[in-house]
Amino acid sequence: MGLLLLSTSEGLHKKKNRGAFLRRVEVCPHRKNWCLQFREEAVKIQHIFQQEIAEIHHIGSTSVSGLKAKPIIDMMPVVKNIEVVDQYNEEMQVLGYEPKGENGIPGRRFFIKGKDRRTHHVHIFQEGSYHIERHLAFRDYLRAHANEKQKYGDLKDNLAKQFPYDMESYINGKEALVKEIEAKALQWYKN
């Protein structure tokens, strides 16, 4: 079966290839309501995990004012014990989240909300995980370095236009710059 462009009443465009729908890569200018969306969802997640959560961080591009981003809120709850997180999968499903387990990153629990029209990603790590510092350093570095933020946002925008239905190529296209910024960010963060 070839590629077929579809349109729904909501304006969601997808391509279908061999029966599988591909998510559209959408990058847009920063939206002021992303911070509010994070806070509202953080309250819901805190209510589920209660004393298990030490803190919840807004991470990813939607957490950096002025940065072009996919309109998906990335959240990073930090828990005392990662092993208990799976006990809350059903409650997360009630909120609309799909549990994905580690999803390629050992020591993480990953949840997505919105299926093909994703709205939130939740990356849960245990206190002391290296990944916590990595995410916070990247976020804070972009907040403090306008030129790097612009460069990263422009790359994402160009890749989204180049690969509108190819998330893998979009991600691969960012990889080198992400690693470069992350290395600088970690050094900067530690100083």
* Residue 25 belongs to a domain: no
DSSP letter, residue 69 = B
Residue 81 is predicted with a pLDDT of: 97
Residue 141: burial class (beta carbons within 10 Å; 0-12, 13-18, 19+): buried
- pLDDT value at 21 more than 90: no
* Average pLDDT for the chain: 91
* Residue 160 belongs to a domain: yes
Residue 115 is predicted with a pLDDT of: 86
* Residue 186 belongs to a domain: yes
* Residue 15 belongs to a domain: no
List the CATH number of the domain containing 164: 3.30.460.10
Token code pair at residue 176: 């080198």
- pLDDT value at 179 more than 70: yes
* Residue 1 belongs to a domain: no
User: Where residue 3 falls among pLDDT bands split at 50, 70, 90?
Assistant: very low
* Residue 14 belongs to a domain: no
Residue 8 is predicted with a pLDDT of: 33
* Residue 154 belongs to domain spanning: 33-190
CA distances from 23 to 16, 66, 71, 121, 160 (A): 10, 24, 13, 15, 12
* Residue 136 belongs to a domain: yes
* Residue 12 belongs to a domain: no
* Count of domains observed in the chain: 1
Query: Which tens digit of pLDDT belongs to each residue from 148-178?
Result: 999 999 999 999 999 999 999 999 999 999 9
- pLDDT value at 9 more than 80: no
Query: Do the bridges between strand 120-126 and strand 73-79 make them parallel or antiparallel, or are there none, so unpaired?
Result: parallel
145 vs 148: CA distance, rounded Å: 6
Query: Which tens digit of pLDDT belongs to each residue from 78-127?
Result: 999 999 999 999 999 999 999 999 999 999 999 999 988 899 999 999 99
